[in-house]
Amino acid sequence: MEQKKTVVLGVTGGIAAYKTASLASMLVKNGYDVQVLMTRNATNFINPIVFETLTKHKCLIDTFDRNFEYSVEHVALASVADLVMIAPATANVIGKLAHGIADDMLTTTVMACRRCPKFIAPAMNSEMYLNPVVQDNLAILKKYGYEVIEPAEGHLACGTSGIGKMPEPEELYEYIYHELAWEKDMIGKRVLVTAGPTQEAIDPVRYITNHSSGKMGYAMAKVCAARGADVTLVSGPTSIPKPMFVNVVLVTTAKEMFEAVRREAENADIVCKAAAVADYRPKYVNDQKMKKSGEQMVLELEKTDDILKYLGEHKKPGQFLCGFSMETENMVENSRAKLEKKNLDMIAANNLRDAGAGFQGDTNRMTLITRENETALPLLSKEETAARILDMILDQMNS
Ligand code: CTP
């Protein structure tokens, strides 16, 4: 982020307020300027000092509280907010905002935030949440442009379980990231990303796979979505949680990935094939667990479909195909050969031998190879690498 974005967090009087401290911390660590407004009741659940320590700003509570970094008016914060999130939002504050009651710092400021996106994360007992009056008030807030984040189901502080739990801070953070982290320069673009390894069964207990973690492809999907694209992610088995704001298709084998990609690529403007697809699979899959016998064993393998080659041969007009290539030697030459052979527009290559590049880590050092050029990226996080790959793709599509 070039310039710090300001997130106004509204904390109201519910037990989930303690989780909002983690959200504030996450935001600060990721470079956001965080301003916290609390209701008087919220201070019964968490001390403002927690937020003040995390955000380095005074936590405003009463209408006539002053934060001298901004001017003296209570609406001053509203004019600098890039986003407002009320988490947790009680039935009381939801009701006040829906009916124009502004009787404390939080409600007056939020009511003055007319231009920036506003999120409400209700958290309360299930019966309260499902009460038609609360539901009506949420519908009013939606009508006025607030985005309501549906509470989760689970164990509630009142001892019952049901709907009403505030989503975890990581999930709330994703809403903010999605809204603010990147410029929306991919609106209207449909992007298909593949990620992760494939698994090719030998018998019911064994399979052939590779070390791909899926992190690079998941980062591509996340950044595309945050830049406004309509994203489908076809993913082999990984341990990464499903990304939000992305249509996810889970597959296991190269064959399943082929089928899914063939279908999804029909409507894609951009295809990024970050998956590490098995090149060969066992020719015969045993129905029963294979028992050990002799000293040696030979597995007969057969070639899988080269999905990317298929896409290159069936490229739609205007479609941009980006392959990925991992090499251990002659990276540029080998990758350029794949670019030609598979009829790609670009290939993002890395060398497994480079420090910081490769499968499991959170960083990468890639070289972007087009028909005319090679651009060596520095060592970057996989997310930043994804953004640079997308910059190059957009640049190439517009040239
Ligand atoms: N790929 C694919 N289908 C396959 C194998 C690879 O779509 N069956 C795609 C990968 O998703 C990646 C690119 O092809 O985007 C390069 O993969 P790689 O395995 O490095 O290239 P190969 O052409 O298989 O060449 P080699 O394994 O000999 O290096």
Other Cβ atoms closer than 10 A to 134: 20
| Residue 335, ligand 1, Cβ within 6 A | no
- Structural tokens at position 371: 């028909």
CA dihedral (57, 62, 67, 70) in degrees, to 10, reads 110
Ligand 1: which atom is nearest the Cα of residue 309? 7
Q: What is the largest CA-CA distance in the chain?
A: 84
Average pLDDT for the chain: 95
Ligand 1: which atom is nearest the Cα of residue 307? 7
The domain locations on the chain are 6-180, 190-398
Q: What spacing in Å lies between the alpha carbon of 70 and ligand 1's midpoint?
A: 55
Share of the chain above pLDDT 70, in %: 97
pLDDT at residue 296 in the model: 94
Q: For the full predicted model, state whether its pTM sits above 0.85.
A: yes
Q: Which of 267, 255, 239 is nearest to 247 (CA)?
A: 267
Q: Do the beta carbons of residue 260 and residue 195 sit within 8 Å? A: no
Q: What spacing in Å lies between the alpha carbon of 397 and ligand 1's midpoint?
A: 23
Give residue-wise pLDDT tens across range 345-377. 999 999 888 888 877 789 999 999 999 999 999
| Residue 281, ligand 1, Cβ within 6 A | no
Topology of the domain comprising 190-398: Rossmann fold (3.40.50)
Ligand 1: which atom is nearest the Cα of residue 304? 8
pLDDT at residue 64 in the model: 73
pLDDT at residue 67 in the model: 65
Ligand 1: which atom is nearest the Cα of residue 322? 15
Distance from chain centroid for Cα 139: 27
Strand partners, 122: 89
Q: Do the beta carbons of residue 7 and residue 87 sit within 8 Å? A: no
CA pair distance 202, 213, nearest whole angstrom: 21
CA pair distance 253, 354, nearest whole angstrom: 29
| Residue 304, ligand 1, Cβ within 6 A | yes
SS3 334: helix
Q: Do the beta carbons of residue 172 and residue 21 sit within 8 Å? A: no
Q: How many residues are recorded in the chain? A: 399
Q: Do the beta carbons of residue 225 and residue 218 sit within 8 Å? A: no
Beta-carbon-side half-sphere exposure of residue 86 (alpha carbons within 13 Å):
30
| Residue 273, ligand 1, Cβ within 6 A | yes
The two domains 6-180 and 190-398 share their CATH topology (first three levels equal): yes
Residue 74 pLDDT grade (very low, low, confident, very high; cuts 50, 70, 90): low
Give residue-wise pLDDT tens across range 24-54. 999 999 999 999 999 999 999 999 999 999 9
Residue 254 pLDDT grade (very low, low, confident, very high; cuts 50, 70, 90): very high
Give the single-character DSSP code of 276: B
Q: Do the beta carbons of residue 10 and residue 106 sit within 8 Å? A: yes
Give yes or no for residue 73 having a pLDDT over 60: no
Q: Return the best residue to mutate from 279, 315, 368 for the ligand 1 pocket (most ligand atoms within 8 A of CB).
A: 279
Ligand 1: which atom is nearest the Cα of residue 305? 8
- Helix then strand then coil, % of the chain, to nearest 5: 35, 25, 40
Helix-helix angle 17-29:169-180, to 10 degrees: 40
Give residue-wise pLDDT tens across range 213-232. 999 999 999 999 999 999 99
Q: Which of 93, 142, 110 is nearest to 35 (CA)?
A: 110
First to last CA, the chain: 26
| Residue 254, ligand 1, Cβ within 6 A | yes
Q: Return the best residue to mutate from 199, 208, 273, 329 for the ligand 1 pocket (most ligand atoms within 8 A of CB).
A: 273
Q: Do the beta carbons of residue 399 and residue 236 sit within 8 Å? A: no
Closest protein CA for atom 16 of ligand 1: 325
| Residue 338, ligand 1, Cβ within 6 A | yes
Question: To which H or E segment does residue 322 belong?
Answer: strand 320-327
CATH architecture of 6-180: 3-Layer(aba) Sandwich (3.40)
Give the single-character DSSP code of 295: S
CA pair distance 385, 361, nearest whole angstrom: 13
Question: Would you name the residues annotated as active-site residues?
Answer: 158
Give the chain's radius of gyration (CA, Å): 25
| Residue 220, ligand 1, Cβ within 6 A | no
Distance from chain centroid for Cα 45: 30
Contacts of range 168-172, beta carbons closer than 8 Å, 24 or more positions apart: 168/19, 169/19, 169/20, 169/22, 169/23, 169/26, 170/26, 171/244, 172/23, 172/85, 172/87, 172/119, 172/121
User: Across residues 227-255, what is the average pLDDT?
Assistant: 98
| Residue 308, ligand 1, Cβ within 6 A | yes
Q: Which of 259, 299, 297, 261 is nearest to 280 (CA)?
A: 299
- Structural tokens at position 41: 């009741």
Closest protein CA for atom 14 of ligand 1: 308
Give yes or no for residue 206 having a pLDDT over 90: yes
